[in-house]
Structure 1
């Protein structure tokens, strides 16, 4: 009966998606004609969803956007959606079929999207390899064929074009006032106990401060610190479920949000909050300027953020000798680990409605060129030769406005030109990226790579191979679990709920929401 009901629900859902386009199977035959579309004098009109970060607000005038669109022959309309609301907006568009764009950036097929894909709301882009020659060539060049194939769902199809990395790198983490550590004689922190002692000392010296803050929202701190406790849950969790964590030794999922590891982690964060060491305003999204001011004025002395933010904060500070440094991942009960990453990241999706366009093939080919061609992928990283850089033999020489910028090359290129904007850049080659950073950053990455046999940055957990009915069942369980977990995390951290007297009630609620069945679905459908 359950399967019959699930089938009925799936059919109803597919009917509801009609406004967003019928199943991609009604689009041109898989693989297409194999020949390039006819060249038109008019740019092809494409609308796009973009995940906007308050520290890097989108601008239509960005050089990288303008140049790559021109090369690909695209008349681009971008809807910049706040990153904190992005997944909700994408889910609403795909579920209701209202106002779907032609292209959705920065998505994968974990969680709800797998159900949407298998029920026809998203184009199986792997059906059209002849239309993505640049993507195919870049996958081959970077040796990522196996990695990309693992993104296929139960039906053997892949529903997005992922970001491609030749190797993961440590781009963000704990950033602290190095000048304060030197003044007080503290060594660089290596453990969370070290962090606590430093924050406690700063609070004693600056009673009105909240020493540890975070960029954008608390999930940035959580996703960078939880792995050292052996877990990852909540918004932006590495599993994409919000509830489950992955045991790398056992090769299976577990109910991370109700584990003793989670309790230990939340106890540490609650201690910071209770002692006034954790910024109480981080519960809500923090504007980039507000975050920068907190750090620059000494209202906070530590944060979880990204290396390219350092230059701007140092320039804005009027504190004598003010100096920030980013440190390798701190060691916790499970070791020293950072936010898990993969050689494939979130990527480009085409809603099913896009496949109904008469020029669908041209849309796919234009997007493929704009983001994955050698010429355009270089622009997304380095900008335009002769404007942002020149070549001296094999050496990249950046323009004077970049090398003299107090914000540093990387951040200035992001803000001024749109180069290195994460939702837009889809090809990341480590050696090329390192050219935009200073020697200090290169040394930090070298240190991280040498820690724990290079296992600081763990791979993303595997995606289960759900069929369409199981994917829908899992999605129906995931949303209430994730929503409830967010409420409880905040309550435990702030102390409005007790980790001693209220923990059992929390666990009971998660079990009532069928977290155990949810976890079993994931483990039963792991790729063998």
Structure 2
């Protein structure tokens, strides 16, 4: 053994003896020091097992406050297994401010404005955070992403950075943590009476032109019918059609309404913002639907009737085509079992139709998410709060817990696949189950989970085979348009834009329905419409949008 090594060992021995003497004389301090060392050792062991630091469980009990949207279909219960499961997994108890879902948006605004908001504010859709940014009432969550490894991992691995950038405000920061989709989940498209199509050798349409041909054939065969009678005031139908005709409403999903969105849209080929409701592409779409109405193929009541009136026509065989979504279609099938008899019909949700611009769809892989109150930063356990939010909403373990519940109690794994326990049901996926996953246990609720969102495998775990097949076809046979870049208005600029945009949107929406239903003539009244809408400040709105976009573009990347 070398002299240097001997000297080192002798020195270490002296240090060890000295430490031993100090510890022996420290009384109660010994317990504290030992506990601290143990905690550090445990943390080191945890880090070695979890090098990305993706897991979270507090080493002491914590309590965080949270706003809770109470759904009427599964009213809040304090004894839900959900709360115990969260506590067992994280050592966190949630102190809830419970608000009826119908009042949630209004109550959320009041609480934030008065400084009384809880720390965690979920069920916030991108855009709903904007009114609270300038006051400093909510945190710029983008400042804390480095403390949220699960969220960061999903953004990176799922290619969502551009989508996240679209949330940035004028300061280059974003203020809501959206829930995320690994793959896009299409909700809305047309449902058809496939049995009627097959009986008459009518091909399932893949394009709008093919739909028109199918409707004509149905009208010939069933002259007393109106082949297509729609619901939701035609808003889902228009939302599906617009991008396929070349009106780039990228990022929009579901029910579309010009009064609820900007009429100035991003043209990616020119990298600027343009007014589309006077474009040839938009006019072509109006002409198409007006033709369907004139020929008796599309019910003009589609834009005014109640949803139940539209559905009643479909389930009684008076119409054969209607917009639906991946959850609503089952409700229609259940009603048709009563009206037409089980086995006497077949209903299928078809792929979103392709148009002149191809098989493109508008939508977003971002969903409602979480704001964090500014006062949360003053909580001494703020770092743990960030880790808790990150784990519960963005880790696969957390997402599985809030969606499926507790293994062995609400679900089991069979050959690697999720299955409900024999006595548990949800969405009629296990009809023999006597307990409801939401009502009786609190899991799969909208505050914590996306039923068809998150990791792809987890999203598909609660889909019927038909829905899973539909979603896979959408993702392989249709192209999701990229989201538009942000236009981060300041508060005064946004006020100016809203003052211009609202009357323009109201008029465009009004005239769209008139053109489609034939109350106004596209041939005779189009030029007058263009002049009238331009007089409402279109040029000013376009200029304001482009000025803000160009001046802030570098900051938004």
Tell me the TM-score range normalised by the shorter chain. Answer: 0.7 to 0.9
Provide Cα deviations, 1:193-238, integer angstroms capped at 9, x if missing partner.
Answer: 2212333444455566544344545322222221111115697479
Match of 1:477 in 2: 500
Q: Shift in Å at residue 187 of structure 1?
A: 0.8
Offset at 1:496? 2.7
Query: Relative to structure 1, is the Cα distance of residues 327 and 75 closer, same or farther in structure 2, using a 3 angstrom cutoff?
Result: same
The answer on 1:425 being equivalent to 2:444 is no
Contact 2:258 2:505 (C-alpha < 8 Å) held by counterparts: no
Deviates more, 1:305-314 or 1:418-427: 418-427
* Aligned counterparts of 1:46 and 1:463: Cα–Cα separation in 2: 29
Taking structure 1 as reference, are residues 78 and 272 closer, same or farther at Cα in structure 2, changes over 3 Å only? farther
- Please report how far the alpha carbon of residue 161 of structure 1 lies from its aligned counterpart in structure 2 after TM superposition: 0.3
The DSSP-based 3-state class of the residue aligned with 2:67 is strand
Q: CA deviation at 1:44?
A: 4.2
Distance 1:96 1:421 in 2: 23
Moved more, 187-196 or 481-490: 481-490
Tell me which residue corresponds to 2:188: 172
CA distance in 2, matches of 1:414, 1:346: 19
Does residue 353 of structure 2 align to residue 333 of structure 1?
no
Gaps of 5+ in 2: 1-55
Closer, same or farther: CA 469–224 of 1 in aligned 2, 3 Å: same
Q: C-alpha displacement at 1:183, in angstroms?
A: 0.8
Which of these two proteins has the greater Rg computed from alpha carbons?
2
Q: Which one of 412, 415, 418 corresponds to residue 390 of structure 1?
A: 412
SS at match of 2:513: helix
Other-structure match for 1:17: none
2:484 is the alignment partner of 1:461: yes
Cα displacement (A) at 1:121 = 5.8
The CA distance in 2 between the partners of 1:114 and 1:420, in whole Å, is 28
When structure 1 is superposed on structure 2, of 477-486 and 69-78 the one drifting more is 69-78
Matches within 5 A, 1:229-248: 229-232=245-248, 236=256, 241-248=261-268
- Alpha carbons 2:263, 2:505 under 8 Å: kept: yes
Give the match's secondary structure for 2:361: coil
Q: Which residue of 1 aligns with 2:398?
A: 376
Report 1:94-493 matches (<5 A).
97=113, 102=118, 103=121, 105-109=123-127, 114=130, 117-118=133-134, 120=136, 122-129=138-145, 132=148, 134-136=150-152, 138-139=154-155, 142=158, 144=160, 147-149=163-165, 151-203=167-219, 205-206=221-222, 209-214=225-230, 216-232=232-248, 236=256, 241-283=261-303, 286-287=306-307, 292-317=311-336, 318-319=339-340, 321-342=344-365, 344-350=366-372, 361=382, 367-400=389-422, 424-425=448-449, 428-451=454-477, 456-493=479-516
Structure 1 residues 78-122: Cα deviation after superposition (integer angstroms, max 9, x where no partner): 54556xx988x59x948994798542524213xx86475346464
TM-score (norm 2): 0.70
Write the distance in 2 (CA, Å) between the matches of 1:64 and 1:253.
Answer: 50
Distance 1:420-1:508 versus aligned 2 partners, 3 A rule: farther
**1:223/1:64 CA distance change after superposition, 3 Å:** farther
SS of 1:504's partner is helix
Tell me, yes or no, if the aligned pair for 1:315 and 1:407 is still in contact at 8 Å: no
> What SS class does the counterpart of residue 479 from structure 2 fall into?
coil
Cα separation, partners in 2 of 1:117 and 1:99, compared to 1, 3 Å: closer
Shift in alpha-carbon separation, 1:141–1:181, aligned structure 2, 3 A: same
Residue 520 (structure 1) aligns with: 543
Looking at structure 2, the residues matched to 338 and 261 of structure 1 have their Cα atoms a distance apart, in angstroms, of 16
* C-alpha spacing 1:356/1:391, structure 2 compared with 1 (3 Å): closer
Deviations 1:464-492 (A, max 9, x none): 24445434433333333333333222333
TM-score normalised according to structure 1 size: 0.73
Indicate the structure whose relative CO is greater, using CA pairs within 8 Å and at least 6 residues apart: 1
1:51-66 to structure 2, matched below 5 A, reads 57=73, 59-60=75-76
User: What residue number does 2:24 align with?
Assistant: none
The 1:300–1:240 alpha-carbon spacing in structure 2 relative to 1, beyond 3 Å, is same
Say which SS state the counterpart of residue 510 (structure 1) adopts: helix
8 Å contact kept, 1:44–1:75: yes
- Indicate the SS of the match to 2:210: helix
Over the aligned positions, Cα root-mean-square deviation in angstroms equals 4.4
